[in-house]
Amino acid sequence: MQSSRRVPWARFGFEGVLIVASILAAFSIDAWWDGRQEARTRMELVSTLKLDFETTRKRLSKSIALADALNERAAGFLKAVGSKEPVELDKLRYSIAGAFTKIDFEPALSAYNSAVATGKIGLVETPALVESIAEFNQALDYYEMHDRIAADIFYLGPIWELRREIGSLRILFRDPITYPDRFRRTDEEYRQFLARPMVYAAVEAMLTAQRNNANGLRSMDEAARNVLEELERLH
């Protein structure tokens, strides 16, 4: 005996629409939540990158000030020994020490390096930011190259030859009482030694490398400023 009951297609159709709508709503909520999480991660990354480059610029400011002061002293020494006018020995010692003092700098880029390693940097990459960071890295490479050159000059180049002759560089810029009696010189001997071409050449070589260091630091600072301006637009 055949059943005369009718299939409720309308009800099934309505329930199907509800199921599809529920699935689509769930996908929409997930997409909205993912987008919100990504936006939050992006803003947090921008904040930490800003902190990196702000700290780096503070360090750059100190290093640039030190570089300018040391280079001015070294240049003053070259001018003094090239002049016929007598200069106080203490001033000569102070000036020449500028050529043999290292210009330290270390960027603070832990958040940036982490973002690059994890791929999160892609969340904030814009053409302007990529270009500014590339300029910063190029300037950092320039600074590090000339820092190595300065170290080579100090340990292997003309300053090593100078050290071999006098025994200790302290003789050039420290109070005589701080180094051994056997290496001490009279004031006149000290002046004559400082006037030698070998001393002038060693100081000039260091000054050239240190000036290039200073140029690298300034280029980094300009690039870091551009990075911060772009990050501020992204905030």
pLDDT above 80 for 21:
no
Residue 111 domain flag: yes
Q: Measure CA 58 to chain center.
A: 10
Residue 3 domain flag: no
Residue 2 domain flag: no
Residue 38 domain flag: yes
Q: Which of 27-31, 104-108, 157-161, 216-220 has the lowest mean pLDDT?
A: 27-31
The token pair that represents 169 in the structure block: 């560089």
Residue 1 domain flag: no
Confidence of residue 32 (pLDDT cuts 50, 70, 90): very low
Residue range 130-163, pLDDT digits in tens: 999 999 999 999 999 999 999 998 888 888 888 8
Q: Which of 67-76, 84-93, 166-175 has the lowest mean pLDDT?
A: 166-175
Q: Are 223 and 135 in contact (CB under 8 A)?
A: yes
User: Based on the structure, what is the number of domains in the chain?
Assistant: 1
Q: What is the mean pLDDT of residues 215-222?
A: 98
- Other C-beta atoms lying within 10 Å of the C-beta of residue 179: 17
Question: Angle at the Cα of 192 (from 190 to 197), degrees rounded to 5?
Answer: 115
Question: Amino acid letter at 14?
Answer: F
Q: How far apart are CA 178 and CA 170, in angstroms?
A: 8
To which residue do tokens 């991660």 refer?
Answer: 41
Q: How far apart are CA 185 and CA 207, in angstroms?
A: 25
Q: How far apart are CA 40 and CA 34, in angstroms?
A: 10
For residue 150, what are the domain limits? 11-234
Q: Are 175 and 185 in contact (CB under 8 A)?
A: no
pTM: 0.80
